[in-house]
Structure 1
Amino acid sequence: MSRIPRSKDDDYTEDMAQQRREFVREQTGVSLTHTGQCSFDAGEARGNIEHFTGVCQIPMGIAGPLQVNGEHARGAFYVPMATTEGTLVGSYNRGMRLTREAGGVNVSVVDDVMQRAPVFVFANARDARTFGEWVEANMDRIRAAAESTTSVGKLQFVQQFAAARFRYLRFNYSTGDAAGQNMCGRATREACLWIAEQYPGPMERWVLSGNMDTDKKHSQINTLYSRGKRVIADCVIPDAVLQQVMHVSARQFFNQRGISNLGAMMAGSSNNGSHAANGIASVFIATGQDEANVAESQSALVHSELTDEGDLYYSVTLPSLIVATHGGGTGLPTQRECLGMMDCVGPGKARKLAEIIGATVLCGELSLGAAVLADEWVSSHEQYGRNR
C-alpha cells in the first residue's frame, strides 16, 4: 500500500500539493484539475488541514439585504451562503424581503459559554460526593489554574453531575471571539492536573472528557444550558405583508405552527422548526466556521403567536450557536472576504456574526414554512433546484 506523499520539513507548499494530486492520479486514475486551482498560497492552510492537496469549491451566493435590529449587528447586511442546494439562497432571500418590509429582525445574544466536561472516578458514590464538596470549596484556586493557560478564556462556573461512582464536572468558559473548544480543553486539563495533585482524598483517575460537553453532537443539556451563543431572533409580521409576499395569512401560519410542533414532538426532534441547518451550514462554510458544529448549532426552538391585531409574532431561539470571527478557518482568504462583507473581521465581532446568523435562520424558517402552506415548495424546487 502506497503512502501519501508528505514532507517533514514543510508540507504546506505548492510542490507538495502537486505531488499529492499526482499521487491521486496514479492511484485512482482521476486528475484533480479543478481541485488544484487554488487562489491562495498553500502555506495559508497551515493549521487548518493536513495533507493539503487543493480546494473543494462550493458555489456561493448572497442573500439580502437582511435588516438586523441587534445589539451588536445593526443595519442592512448581505449574507454569503455557500451551498449546492438550488432554491436555498432564493428562499432565504425571500424571507429577508418579508422581514425587511416588516421592519427587520430583533436579535439578542442572551448567553455565551463554551464547555469541557471531565469525569472523576472514585471507589463509591460517597467518595464522589465528598470530592464534589471539595471542588465547591476550592473553586477560586481551580479557576486560577484553568485561566493560567489563556489570556482570553475565563472560567465562569462549573456544574456538577453525579451518577454511580462518578462525578462529572462541566466547566463553562467565556472565550471571546474564538469558538473556544481547544482553548477550553487546554484550560480544563490544567485545572484537572491541579485538582488531581491537590485533592486530599482517594481518587482512582480522571478523564478530560466524560462526554457531557457533548462536543459536535446535539444534546438536551445544551438546549437547556446553552453551548456557544444562545441567540434569540424575533419579529412581528403584519398580516397584510405576509399575504402579499408569502401568499398565506398570519392565522394560517399560526395554525400550522401548532401542527408542526406536534409533529416534531412525536418525532422526538431537537428542532421544532423547518430547516435551521440549511442557513447555518451555508454561512458556516462561507465564513470558515467548524462545519461539524452544525450538529449542535442547528437545534432550534420556534414559537409563534397571533397578536391582538391579527399579525404574526414569530421567534427562533438557537440555544447552541457556535461561531467565531478569530481562529480556525476564519483566517483563510475567501472566508475572511465573506466575513468582511458583513463587517465581522477583527476583535469584538463574534456576537455580531451570531446575531446575523440568528436573523438569517428566522428568515429561512418563515420562507419555507410559507412555501409549504402555499403549496409552492415543490414547484420552487422544480424551477430553481433542477440541473439535470
Structure 2
Amino acid sequence: MPVILGRIPEKKARPPRPITRRWLIFGAAVLISGMGLTFLFWQGERTVPGFWLFAVVLPILLWGSMFSARRAGYKYQCVGQDKANRTINARHATDKGRGQRFAWFVGEFLVNALECEHKPTQKAAITKMPILQPVMPRRAKKPVRHSRLPGGESASDMLASLQAELNGRITKLMDSLPPAMTCFLALDVEEDLPVLSLSGLPEISQPVIRIRDLSGLRILDYWLDQHYEKPSALLVISAQLNDMPENDSGEAISVMLMTNCRLKDTPPVSARLHRPQMNHSGDMGHALRHAMLWAGLEKNIPLRGWMTGGTLTSSDALSSACENYAPELTAQRYVNIDAVAGFAGVAAPWQALILATRQCLADREAQMVVIESSSDFQQLCAVTPE
C-alpha cells in the first residue's frame, strides 16, 4: 500500500478569538438599553433597590453570562483543535516514518547485451556508448534497432540456456543470508515468457514465500509495507526477452537481493534502496518531492538521475520538477539508459535500480531512478549510500 500523505487532513486552524473591544462595546449597549427600558417602563419609585437591579445589575449579569458562554465556547474549540492537530501530527509522523522505510542492498546479477560483452552497463550509459543497432530478431523478417542477447532461437531457448547460470548465481546470493531468515520471492517476467524454472531454490536453506500479482517497484513498495517488522529478504527476478521486438527496445535479465535489516556481514560501504513513489497523477513535482522525502534527501544535495521509458529526458515536467525540488539534478546529470541499451520492458525498473546502486557504491553519491512505464504512470526511487 503506497504512502499517500495527501490523504491526511490539513491541520485545523485556530478558532477565532473573541474580540474584547467588541464585547465591551456590546456590554455598553446592553447596559444603556437596560437602563433606558427600565426608566421608560418602571412604574414605581426609582430609588428603591429593585429599580437599580433591573436598570444596572440585570443588564450586567446578562452581558456577563453571554461573554462567559462565548469564552467557554472558544476554550472548548481550542481544546478540540489541539486534540485534532495532535492526531493529525501523529498520523503524519507515522506515515512519514512508514514512507521512509528502506532496504539494504545485498547483491545483484544483470544480463544484457552489454554485460554479455563484459562492459559495465552503468559506465556505458554515463559515457553514452550505445549498443543499440539494427539486428535481426529471432522471429521477424526485417532488422530492428534493438539490443539483443546473443544466442537462442527463441525466448524460451534463451532462458533455458541461462537457467543453470541463474540458479548458480541465485544460490550464491542466498548463501549470504542467515539460514533462518525468510526470503520473499517475486518473479517480474514479460507476459509471453514461460515461467522461470527455480529448480535451484529447493537447495536453499531459507524458507521462501512467493509474492504474486505485482510488477515493477510496486513489489518493493508492498514488501516494505507488509513485511518490514520481522527480518526478511526480498529476491526479485525479472526478465524481458523479445522474439519480435520494437525499435529502441532491449533485452535484460536481472536478479536483485535486498534485506529489511543490516546483515552482520554487510560491508561498510553499502547502499540503501528507499521506498518508491508511484505517480499516477502526472504531477512530476509531487512525485519527485515525495521520493526525496522518503530518502531524507535535502533539496541541494548532489544527485544523479537514471531515466528509462517514455520521453523522460526531454520532458518539461521532469525538468521543472528538478528545478523546484532537486536543482542539482540538471540535464547533464541525467543518464538515459534507453539511448544506450534500449527500453527493457518489465525488467527496466530493476535494471535501472541495479545500475543506480552500482554507481552509488562507486561514487558514494545519492541516485534517483525514474521509470515511465506508460504516459500516465511513473515510478521514482532513490538509492543512497550508507
Q: Compute the TM-score of the two structures, normalised by the length of structure 2.
A: 0.24
Q: Which has the larger radius of gyration?
A: 2
Q: Compute the TM-score of the two structures, normalised by the length of structure 1.
A: 0.24
